[in-house]
Structure 1
Amino acid sequence: MSVHELKRPPLADTAEWRVELPKALEQLRHWAQISPLQPALRHKRHGQWFVWRWIDVLRDVERLADGLRQQGFIEDSRLALSGAFEPNLLLLALAAQHIGGQLLTLPENLDPETLHKILWRSSPTHAFVQGRQTQQCWLHQGQSLLSFNDLIGPVDTPQRLNRWSKNPQLWSEEGTQWQAGLTVLLEQWLTSGHSLAFPESPGSASRDRREVAPSGLLLSAERLQLLAAEIESRLAPHDTWRRRLCDWAIAHPEKGLQRLIKNRVRRLLGFHNLHFIWQATRSPDAQPQPTWLTEFKRDIA
């Protein structure tokens, strides 16, 4: 996780990658004031869940803002973010908003030529990048590196999470390749005041999601298709009696036996607490969703 200082051309074209969060700091202060000790963020690191309370989030944002100022970040500066969505990235985004600078998100899987063109067009003054391979690509563009820890300075380690509360729990397993994703996450999280959780890595997302059993999923259209494929792989094959039993249960959940079967399948999938899936407007050529997803309420962008 690193911050890079980048050269600036005379004019910057940032519209394609810019993130607008006009109310984010006001909303964060609201939750830190009325629910300071309630969980705000959860993240799995090295096999252990950690939690940030609302007051922790606000304090870390203020520390990071001070660290950014020491690196020359001002109101006219532009911070580029690239990598998986997780607490460090969100905290740094809010810190840039705290100063009044501009925020950009760039996909982490860009090839060197495309990355060079985007950096030249968008002209970020600073950038936070996750993942060794992505960091190497940025290094090859001649950027110096600073660590997240250097920005935030001495700070208490986030608390280990020993048990999950029954409060609503949002879930994200996305990254900056979802262009609108940061706006969606921050709006849903800061508007609702619900805790937002992240997996340890993309490879562990399915297992970690089942541990969390979230009440709401924040998904891009691409991720929703991957989730649909995951569900399909975990259900019995088509034209088998077990699959017909599952389909029968979802079609008639009002009866006792069907409801019991449906609830067991939902628990297997980690959906036993799920109430809604946020997703962007679907394209006309999008594939139909499986019945195990279509039953959930969706907030459409």
Structure 2
Amino acid sequence: MDRYESLRHWARVRPLANALRHKRRGRWHGWRWIDVLRDAERLADGLRQHGLGSQSRLLLSGPFEPDLLLLALAARSLGAEVASLDDQLPSEALRQSLWRLRPSHVFIGSGRQWARWQAAVHRGPAPRLLIVSAPGDLPRSTHPSWLSFSQLLGGADGSRRQGRRRWSHAAVQLWSEEGTCWQGGLEVLLEHWLGSGHSLAFPESPGSAARDRREMAPSDLLLSPQGQQGLQDQLAALLAGWRRFWAWPAGQPHHVLAWLLERQARRLLGVGRLRCVWQPAQSPGALPGWIAGLERRPP
């Protein structure tokens, strides 16, 4: 079953179940499976009107969040190729990537990326359409053919709903705080999200990821190896500080104080109910010790 057919499946069998969550301007918003399908269909119609078809290539650059996933699904439903590009590339590397990939359509995650893209397009191949997720005060005269995401969607802001904290913390909740700098990460997200039918959540920004992760308390983490290393470093720093404060020997992992501190560390990191951390298929075997520790439920 391809990605778009998987979306249709979940919209049919679980139309009102939550599919996506994203924190925006301090509030959690949610999309049901039927909302995701409807928005993807509207986006496909908008992309078709702007020339995207089976011979086109959509290039995505920015943090992973619902707008990016919806565009990827919409483009694939039209038979277009979808590629992703590191959103931290400097202008010259960006220009070289544009020459190599030759995208017909481009999506960038925010107006903050605009200066680099403007410089790269000026000296390289210009896409037919540039879509900006949050253009802000971007002057319309800067590019002859660009649209905000909401305009492509049809002038609306999508089917998202402000979410009261109704979700059950017993439910499976996928979590990602990555972006297109994670090579292959988009396929990991689509595979686990559409393959499982579980809700997938995103933080408001990289800077708020720890706080938002703590609020969401996810059960499954979809993190790149670099993201996992960052979480490991946070855990190690937290526990090292507490060990010094409590004069707790590192060689006593079964001490009741060690258990209490690790439990508190899990809560502060937002992984208190963690059950799974994504691992690359080429890395079978036992999970790294720090992940196994995070996944270990209190007795």
User: What is the TM-score with the length of structure 1 in the denominator?
Assistant: 0.81
Which residue identity is paired with 1:87? Answer: P
Corresponding residue number in structure 1 for 2:280: 280
Distance 1:173 1:276, change over 3 A: same
- CA–CA distance in structure 2, aligned partners of residues 181 and 39 of structure 1: 22
Corresponding residue number in structure 1 for 2:148: 147
- What aligned pairs does 1:15-26 form with structure 2 within 5 A after superposition? 23-26=2-5
- CA–CA distance in structure 2, aligned partners of residues 243 and 184 of structure 1: 42
- CA–CA distance in structure 2, aligned partners of residues 280 and 148 of structure 1: 32
Corresponding residue number in structure 1 for 2:293: 295
> Per the alignment, in what secondary structure is the counterpart of residue 235 of structure 1?
helix
Corresponding residue number in structure 2 for 1:187: 191
Q: How far off its partner does 1:245 sit?
A: 7.0
Corresponding residue number in structure 1 for 2:46: 67
More displaced, 146-155 or 89-98?
Answer: 146-155
Equivalent position to 2:56, from 58, 74, 77: 77
Corresponding residue number in structure 2 for 1:6: none
Distance 1:66 1:246, change over 3 A: farther
Equivalent position to 2:19, from 40, 58, 62: 40
Q: Which has the higher contact order (CA 8 A, sep 6+)?
A: 1
The count of corresponding residues between Structure 1 and Structure 2 is 268
In structure 1, stretches of 5+ residues that fail to align are 1-21
Q: How far off its partner does 1:241 sit?
A: 6.2
Q: How far off its partner does 1:23 sit?
A: 1.1
Runs of 4+ in 1 over 6 A off after TM superposition: none
- What aligned pairs does 1:215-234 form with structure 2 within 5 A after superposition? 215-234=219-238
Corresponding residue number in structure 1 for 2:164: 162
Q: Does 1:128 align with 2:129?
A: no
> Per the alignment, in what secondary structure is the counterpart of residue 83 of structure 2?
strand
User: What is the TM-score with the length of structure 2 in the denominator?
Assistant: 0.82
- CA–CA distance in structure 2, aligned partners of residues 239 and 126 of structure 1: 52
Overall identity of the aligned pairs, in %: 50
Q: How far off its partner does 1:263 sit?
A: 3.2
